[in-house]
Structure 1
């Protein structure tokens, strides 16, 4: 007598079946200082080994900017896609900036939201319109005289999980979402379907990461550290003048990267700064696992983590009406930052409006990076001569 076979369970980490073995066999990231090592250990960051080969798929110059599509294979998971953006015809080594994309509830795409491309996926265009004031951040930074690398990080874009056959819990929640769409007469796009599944699946990824002794933020930091090493090695990039910039979840990545790598000289955190205490109880659910690594608060408040970095300086931009952070928590973070850092090394600015990296904020960030990293293009000089001072207490 034969018994019917049970249906095969779908993989909870499809596309990343080699991830557990990689993490278990890979040494941990070795930071430059004991303070930075504590953060690396809390996040569970595996050592990032830069890929042997970086492939250039295409390159074109448009409107004074040269954009190249690159890719590389890390030690596990799908191949990484990235874009290098720099001023057309630039001579001599340029300061380099790693542009770190936000979470945005959009894991279908990644760094494509930061780059002007011949053809952008609608999800990238929507992310630019909704979060970046319609501007391509990496391209705007490059116009000011930088070599800018924007890469898809762990679980986003080219590095996303394969959810074409979602695992059980994700599938059940996705079915409910599809039912609601049908009731509302909504026809979801491929990006809508993926992002709905990925939003639910993030809990599963965080669960798997914790089981492996790492975290979602730690795995993202792994990919970011590898990308930073690639940027430093590219022809025409000055490895002694490197910075990073990010909005929202990308701002959290910027802070973590600056703490984990002494390569970062100056950096920008936008709309990603408040105290952990201020998130409880009402704001906790507004944030992803990128900010809320278990046990991270034991190292201190979120602004206190900046003291673990060897960077020469940094800019933090707050949005007063940010829906994801209470103003009291942002003001307290600003106070802590001022108390921790010598005058001139930390600059904080408060802007009106909600959780958006506005054109004005981008201009301020570009001016900051141009001044501190030594960009010398005419566009950089234009940004440097804009009338609004950097770091005013309130831009209203």
Structure 2
């Protein structure tokens, strides 16, 4: 009897494997999607006219346009998380480092959730200029804020992972610690799904899009929550006694760069922004022509927003703030033709407001990264604009 049952189980497993293999190989002569795009992708792109962009919009007063464009972005971001009734800050760790002190805080970022963050405070007498440092995506969700600021020694697994990540993407130098050594209060916290805001079941990149889809079913947007949180965390940063609230910048690489220019466009508390390796136009990003497709999933997906504004149009809401963009000619994620088009659009906006000197756009012979030289360039930029 046991032998018969075992044979049945083997047969069932074999049949299941055959069905899966057959499903993977099934193709029809007619189809509507190719390489993860609809076959009518070019027609979709042709219908994106960006009617709310500066220069396309009927609104001719720049201040009025900025207000209308910002309202539209928030409208497309859908309902935000409710504001925290109080921050209720707890210092849960502190470590003296060379030239600054590292603190690990826990506080209410919204009325929905309590988060942890690192804050680096320079030695000396403040208040100091500050930077909200926004971590990257990298399809690596185990760490978030620890990509920006060296974690404490008491968590060897996290520290080992962070060291490897920083060696690979940041030239072996923690960006946040570097800025703190040079006189800046530096703040960094996890985006939703990263680090200590991840899944109880553990890291699984394939679950990100499922969770983002489930959030949509609640009428909320996970990518928008990331931006709402970046705005709220900047509001929190401005309350710290060591911080000069009139001298707060933001910076990041990759998804962190996207977060930075989005934050600068939508928060009046940001005075200067530096974005490394994230800027492009949709017509280059979302086509087969350049051999590259968007695979960040919901990390920068705001429903319907592309019907009104492209990426550089949104970033231009920050005009005339001092803003630095660095992109790489060897960056396989952001093709140079799209980067150049985006830079040109933004320069036209800053120039139209007699603020051309406040926008610096640079193409470097680098891959998708933010090495020591790029960090030095960002520091020099902040020294001029925030000090």
Q: Does 1:42 align with 2:84?
A: no
1:345 pairs with 2:358: yes
Q: Give the aligned partner of residue 237 of structure 1.
A: 243
2:98 match: 63
Question: 2:136 touches 2:256 (CA, 8 Å); kept in 1?
Answer: yes
The reply to whether residue 206 of structure 1 matches residue 219 of structure 2 is no
Partner of 1:97: 131
Could you tell me how far 1:368 is from its partner in structure 2?
A: 0.6
Secondary structure class of the residue paired with 1:69: strand
Q: What is the CA distance between 1:114 and its match in structure 2?
A: 1.1
Shift of 1:286: 3.3
The TM-score normalised by the length of structure 2 is 0.76
Distance 1:369 1:48 in 2: 32
Question: Which residue matches 1:128?
Answer: 166
Query: Are the counterparts in 2 of residues 286 and 324 from structure 1 also a CA contact under 8 Å?
Result: no
Q: 1:92, CA displacement in angstroms?
A: 2.4
Q: CA distance change for structure 1 residues 316 and 45 in 2, over 3 Å: closer, same or farther?
A: farther
Q: CA deviation at 1:48?
A: 5.5
Cross-structure match for 1:161: 199
Aligned to 2:261: 255
C-alpha deviations, 1:250-273, integer Å up to 9, x for none?
111111111111111110111000
The verdict on how the C-alpha distance between 1:150 and 1:321 changes in structure 2, with shifts beyond 3 A counting, is same
Name the SS for the 1:57 alignment partner: strand
Give the match for residue 17 of structure 1. Answer: none
* 1:4-35 C-alpha deviation (Å, 9 max, x unpaired): xxxxxxxxxxxxxxxxxxxxxxxxxxxx9232
State the Cα RMSD in Å: 1.8
What is the CA-CA distance between 1:72 and the residue it aligns to? 1.2
The unaligned stretches of length 5 or more in structure 2 are: 1-65
CA contact (8 A) 2:209 2:297 kept: no
Distance in 2 of aligned mates of 1:291 and 1:316: 18
Q: Secondary structure at the match of 1:262?
A: coil
Structure ID, larger Rg = 2
Question: Quick check: 1:113 aligned with 2:186?
Answer: no
Find the counterpart in structure 2 of residue 309 from structure 1: 318
**In the alignment, structure 1 residue 284 sits paired with structure 2 residue 293:** yes
Instruction: From the superposition, tell whether residues 294 and 36 of structure 1 become closer, same or farther in structure 2 (CA, over 3 Å).
Output: same
CA contact (8 A) 1:242 1:264 kept: yes
Unpaired runs of 5+ in structure 1?
A: 1-31, 165-193, 375-396
Shift of 1:75: 4.0
Please show how residues 350-389 of structure 1 align to structure 2 within 5 Å. Answer: 350-374=363-387
For 2:87 and 2:188, locate their aligned partners in 1 and report how far apart those are by CA, in whole Å.
Answer: 19
Asked if the contact 1:95/1:373 (under 8 Å) is kept, the reply is yes
3-state DSSP of counterpart to 1:290:
helix
- Number of equivalent positions: 310
Normalised TM-score (structure 1): 0.74
How much does 1:78 deviate? 5.4
